[in-house]
Amino acid sequence: MGAGASTSLKNTPADARNDILQAGSAACEQIMTLVKVQAYSYSRKSWFDATIESISEEGALVRYDVGDDQRSKEVPFAELSECLRPVTESTLELSQFLAELANELIKWYVAAVLDDLFQTSEFSGKIACKQIMRIMKVQVLSSEGSWVEAQIDTLSETGAVVAYDSGGNSISMEIPLDAISTQLQPTTESTPELVGVLAKLPNYTTRRSTAAILDRLFRNAEYSASVEAHRASSVSLGSQVRLSAAGCAVQEGYRWEDDALAPGDVGELIKLDRFDPSWMQIRGPNGKQDWYQDGAIESV
């Protein structure tokens, strides 16, 4: 994966970066006690039991055994759904574990890996909700027929899960997308900050789901329009591209020769990730191919 694949850690001091990567490895140890996965070997054309050893801004490092031969491979986010699959179900423990992670960057990366594994946006949706609820407040129409203060706990393509207190008890309610505008209401105004939160969500499916719920809360199409505008501004298949300023912002001494693009090189966009079109595969002038995230490249 190219240097510009994600810029989240590029300007992070080395010591802090190492702390984040160590946190990613520690998170994997806990994840592997909660879920079992298999990795696909293209050479053997078969699935093998695997261990996720670390997670970072570029994806996951996976280890698996083929007979007596132990193999490791780095799997970019854009290829996770093709190279990894779960052999256990998604569980509440995984969501609780995610909520307890202290490092915000690792929390996003872990959520992205779990979403790709389970073909959902549930895990990224939980993190998005926490950011949204810092900015806005909502009420839910309770089972007693009254409006009460509530918390959106998670969201997905199908709707939202909302929690509220009733007589000292915590009540959880699933609200389908088409019922959001009648069962939830905002008690704060729509603000530009919410559009800013949307723009920063790394998971495209979560970005779109969040926008759909905000549209229904505030009874407009502002948020979905902002997501579509962002997508439309992205480059299209066949476009000639180069690294943006953000994509060139790497640590001192970075070696570019292994990447598809180096500063000043012009490459071609050859593929969009089918689950998250903000991830793009680029063929460089050297013939190499790498995955880059929207923002790390720009049209020529």
Give the per-residue pLDDT at 113: 86
Give the per-residue pLDDT at 4: 44
Q: Is 184 helix (H, G, I), strand (E, B) or coil?
A: strand
Give the per-residue pLDDT at 112: 82
Give the per-residue pLDDT at 235: 67
Going by pLDDT thresholds of 50, 70 and 90, the confidence category of residue 119 is: confident
Asked whether residue 181 carries a pLDDT value surpassing 50, the answer given is yes
Between CA 72 and CA 109 the distance in angstroms is: 19
Give the per-residue pLDDT at 283: 92
- Beta-ladder partners of 84: 39
- The predicted model gives 242-262 an average pLDDT of 84
- From the centroid of its chain, how far is CA 151? 22
Q: Which residue has the higher pLDDT, 104 or 193?
A: 193
Give the per-residue pLDDT at 6: 40
Per-residue pLDDT tens digits for 202-222:
667 788 889 999 999 999 999
Asked whether residue 9 carries a pLDDT value surpassing 60, the answer given is no
Give the per-residue pLDDT at 274: 60
The amino acid at 110: V
- The predicted model gives 273-286 an average pLDDT of 78
Asked whether residue 265 carries a pLDDT value surpassing 90, the answer given is yes
Candidates 240, 288, 203, 295; CA nearest to 2 is 288
Q: Which residue has the higher pLDDT, 215 or 257?
A: 215
The amino acid at 116: D
Q: Is residue 71 within 8 Å of residue 50, measured between CB atoms?
A: no
- How large is the angle between the packed helices 122-133 and 92-100, nearest 10 degrees? 40
Asked whether residue 279 carries a pLDDT value surpassing 60, the answer given is yes
Phi, psi of 19 (to 5 degrees): -60, -40
Asked whether residue 124 carries a pLDDT value surpassing 80, the answer given is yes
Give the per-residue pLDDT at 11: 41
Asked whether residue 121 carries a pLDDT value surpassing 80, the answer given is no
Note the pTM of the prediction, 2 decimals. 0.64
Going by pLDDT thresholds of 50, 70 and 90, the confidence category of residue 163 is: very high
3-state DSSP helix/strand/coil % of the chain, to nearest 5: 35, 30, 35
Q: Which of 94-108, 189-203, 268-282 has the lowest mean pLDDT?
A: 268-282
Structure tokens at 265: 């090189």
Going by pLDDT thresholds of 50, 70 and 90, the confidence category of residue 131 is: confident
Looking at residue 119, the DSSP 8-state letter turns out to be T
Give the per-residue pLDDT at 85: 92
Going by pLDDT thresholds of 50, 70 and 90, the confidence category of residue 174 is: very high
Between CA 219 and CA 285 the distance in angstroms is: 48
- Per the listing, tokens 């793009």 go with 280
Strands (E), the chain: 37-41, 46-56, 59-66, 69-76, 84-86, 138-141, 147-156, 159-166, 169-176, 184-186, 240-243, 267-272, 279-283, 289-293, 297-299
Looking at residue 135, the DSSP 8-state letter turns out to be T
Beta carbons within 8 Å of 152's beta carbon, 6+ residues apart:
129, 132, 133, 138, 160, 161, 162, 184, 213
Going by pLDDT thresholds of 50, 70 and 90, the confidence category of residue 140 is: very high
Between CA 222 and CA 225 the distance in angstroms is: 5
Q: Is residue 269 within 8 Å of residue 281, measured between CB atoms?
A: yes
Give the per-residue pLDDT at 176: 95
